[in-house]
Structure formats: C-alpha cells, structure tokens
Structure 1
C-alpha cells in the first residue's frame, strides 16, 4: 500500500536532495565540502545570467512574437463571427512566454550544473565518499591513476555530448511533424534532460566503481520510477535562479544517497570486475 501511495518510489526519489539536511544535522563537518562549490556556482551563475539568460530571453520574445503574428494573419482570413478568437491569441501569447521562460530557466540551470559539477568535482567527490561511508560503513574505490581519472572524465563528458546531440537531432525532426510533433519533442527533451541530470548527480558514487557509460545509464533504468522522481525535483531545484546556487550541492549529495539506498545496498550495481572487463 505504501508503494502505491509513493508512486512505487517516485515520491521517495523526490525526497533525496532534502535528506541531505538530516545528514548535515547529524554530521555538521560535512557542510565544509559544499562551501567552495557554492562559491563556484555563484561565479558561474553571474556569467550565465548576464550572457545566456538575457540573450535567451530576447530570443524567446522574438520567437513568441513571430508565432503570434502568424496566428494573427491566420485569423484575418476567418469569418467575422470568429473574431472572439483574438482574446484566445492574447492568452496564448501569455502562456507561450511563461512556457519559454520556464524552459530557459531549466536550460540555464542545466548549464550551471554542467560547469559547477566539473569545477566542484574534488569537493563533491569527497562529500560523496563521506556520505557513502556513513550509509554503508565503507567506500569502494577502484584506482586507475591520475591520468586514468582525467581520461575517464573527458570520455564521460564526450559521451554525454554525443547522447545529447544524437537524441536532440531526432527530437528536432520530430518537432516539424504536424499535430503533436512539438508536444512529443518537448516531452522527449525533458526526458533527455532528466537523464543527463541523473547521470551528473549519480556519477560521484558510480565513477568510484569505474562503471561504463552504458552501465551508468542502466542504473537509471533499474531504479525507475524513483530515478524519475529524483530527476524531476532536481530539475525544479536547479531552475530557480539564485536558489540553485545552494540546491545543486544538495542534488549531488542526494544522488549519492540515492545510489546507496536504491542501488548499492540492493546489489543492483554491476560488479567491479565486470565493469573493468567491459571497458
């Protein structure tokens, strides 16, 4: 019954970023690991907000105005008794601005995560190790050397980029289909973004075990629908300007707690030996 009420783990997945508050309360020394990442997020956010967000907002305004103008031209050819549709166009224009604004906030927060997680990796990595030690009593690390770590980090980012471009390419063509094409494309884009978010926030715990990129993707599928709930709440938290400077470290820490509870303690992660052989 509890499983049904929590959406078979969906709501439980949403709780993980906030569970870090309880860990910090009982282990306040861990707070020191998020101070530098928060400062880094602040610096990155200045450049993103001043550059990308302002530019993106102008683009969305132009795009919205173009859509409204085309609809206005379409209405000119309709009978006069349909003139009341003008009010519908006004409402539609308002809704489009809200939708485009939300998408822009998510994209800005998404980029903040990409840069913030990479630059804050040393502190996030240490936080993740301490959290895993608290949850499981031990930390498993497969050492591949300094250059091996760098190579794996670069390869991880490249594979994420390939995934984004390949799926994004398909979604672009889906968008040109009449009818529900745009809606399906938007839904696909949100699924893709949620997947990348899970990869970023789970990676601190998964990378210590040197899982392959495909195995990391597999962990998201194995932990559904809890991983979907986790990605939804993280997308919300990273999309709130200024608040996301603080919430991104909580999403990173929550990702490690998620992996420990939903994957590691349940024995759902590939064995270390299999991961090394499959690379």
Structure 2
C-alpha cells in the first residue's frame, strides 16, 4: 500500500515539473488538442446514436411490453456510452502519444537530463520509432478493450454492475494509462510492451496510485489535454523508480547523458528542441 502513495506522489511531481517549465507544458499541449477535437466528435456521435445502437443490439425485445423494452434499451444505451467513455479514456493517451511521439520523446528526455543519468536514445530511425509507438499503442488499446468488454458484460449484474464494476474500470484505465505514460521513458531503456506490463503488474499499487487518479481526471476532456504533459513528466519519474538510471562507473566518471553539478551542455536550454525561440537562440 506504500506504493499507492508513491505513485500518486510521482503524478503530482510530474504536474509540478511542467508548472515550473511552462514552455515545455505548452510544447506538450499541441498533440492533445488535436486528439481532443477527434475524440469530442466521436463521443458526441456515440451519444447521438446510442438509442439506435441500443435498438439494434436488442432485437429480441421488440415483442416486449413498452415499459420493459424501453427500460432495457435505456440501460443498454447508458452502458454503451459509459463503455465508450471508458474506451476513450484508455485510448486517448495512446492516440495522443502516437500523434505527439516526437514532442513527448523530447519532453521525457528533458526530464531525464534534469534529474541526471538520462539513458541514450535508442538507435532507431524516426519511422521505426513511429512504427513502434503505433504497435505498442495498439497492443495496449486491444488489451484494455478486452477488459472493457468483460466489464461491459459485468455491468448488467445487479448492484455489482453499478458499484464494483465502475471502480474496477477506473483501476483498469489507470493501469494502462500508467503503462502508456511511463512507456515513453521505459522504451528508451529497451523494454518491450510485454516487459513493461509485467514490470507494472509486479508493482501494481504503484501503477494504480499514479494512473487511477489520472483516469478520473481524464474523464473531463479538456483536463486530459492540460494534464497530459505533466502525465508524461510524471510517467518519466515513475519509470526512473522502476528502472533506476545507471550510476557513474567510478570517481569523476559519468555515464551517458550524465553531467556533474554546474555543468551545462548544448541541450540544457529550457527551450523545447525545435521551438522557434530555441532556433533563434542557437542562431545568435
């Protein structure tokens, strides 16, 4: 249970990090804003068509009396919308990370360098990195969707479906949010999707302490966008706890990406790489 508080602390530290570095927060907002527009359109469409979908899914109720048929289809429509929102919470992060892969790679690397002991970036082309992000995101979404189907069915159980199932749904969403957000930094450490899931499952309370509160926040669309850069920063800090950076090899020696106190490198500017002000500064 101690890990529960530790995970929540990393979530808060990540949000504090982007508050102290507003340029990086603004830099990380862009992919989330694009994803938000896409998801709002999908959710509005689901709500508008939920009644028709409920009728399509329950043809066996056509011969029931009006009250029974109406009640069943309202319940099914509500479950469809709730299931869609759950799926949106789980997939929003994955889709946003794919859209903003270069943005969040830079953000995670910046957090690592400021904390010390940043691992070397994987030697892959941008196309390979993008393909890996799509593959891992799809695997995460499909696995979460499998849990979502089970929870959707369990939602029909009396009492349990209205109390226990929503709580489990938040935990499932939180676990996969943690995997996706910490995955940016864990991928730099060479961990595959399966290895990341096993690692987080071994520290389940840590993953839930970080991801479950974030899953609740992400139920509010605009909050999801605002909190996304801090989520990546917090996920990077969480990854450093799960797989600590390598220590220097000896007195006065520094590993890749490490610098001693007071040392600054070419990439130590607080400007996001590729931002207009960073380009201007480098040209002066």
Name the TM tier (shorter chain). Answer: 0.5 to 0.7
CA-to-partner distance for each residue in 1:87-114, whole Å, 9 max, x for gaps?
A: xx9xxx89x96x8766554443444322
Rate the CA distance shift 1:153–1:39 in 2: closer, same or farther, 3 A: closer
- Identify the residue that residue 41 of structure 1 maps to in structure 2: 32
Matched, 1:195 2:186: no
Structure 1 residues not aligned, in runs of 5+: 1-6, 75-88, 268-279
Report the counterpart of residue 47 of structure 2 in structure 1: 57
Distance 1:71 1:40, change over 3 A: same
Q: Structure 1's 70 and 189: CA in aligned 2 closer, same or farther, altered over 3 A? A: farther
Give 1:263's aligned residue: 242
Relative to the length of structure 2, the TM-score reads 0.66
- Unaligned 5+ segments in structure 2 are 247-284
The whole-number CA distance in structure 1 between the counterparts of 2:133 and 2:205 is: 27
Partner residue of 2:12? 18
Q: Distance in 2 between matches of 1:24 and 1:53?
A: 29
Counterpart contact for 1:16–1:230, Cα < 8 Å: yes
> Deviation of residue 227 (structure 1)?
1.1
Q: What is the correspondence of 1:136-175 to structure 2 with a 5 Å cutoff?
A: 137-141=116-120, 143-146=122-125, 147-168=127-148, 171=150, 175=154
Given that residues 11 and 229 in structure 1 are in contact (C-alpha distance below 8 angstroms), is that contact kept between their aligned partners in structure 2? Answer: yes
Report the equivalent of 2:263.
none
SS at match of 2:122: coil
CA distance in structure 2 between the aligned counterparts of 1:10 and 1:104, rounded to whole angstroms: 27
Mark the CA change 1:232 to 1:182 in structure 2 (over 3 Å): closer, same or farther. Answer: same
Report the count of equivalent residues. Answer: 234
In structure 2, what is the Cα distance between the partners aligned to 1:160 and 1:151?
A: 14
Give TM-score, length-normalised by structure 1: 0.67
Partner of 2:278: none
Deviates more, 1:186-195 or 1:232-241: 186-195
Which structure's residues are more often helix, by fraction? 1
- Superposition CA RMSD, Å: 3.8
CA distance in 1, matches of 2:18, 2:157: 51
What CA deviation, in whole Å up to 9, does each residue of 1:57-97 have, x standing for no partner? 23456789999x989449xxxxxxxxxxxxxx9xxx89x96
Distance 1:105 1:140 in 2: 36
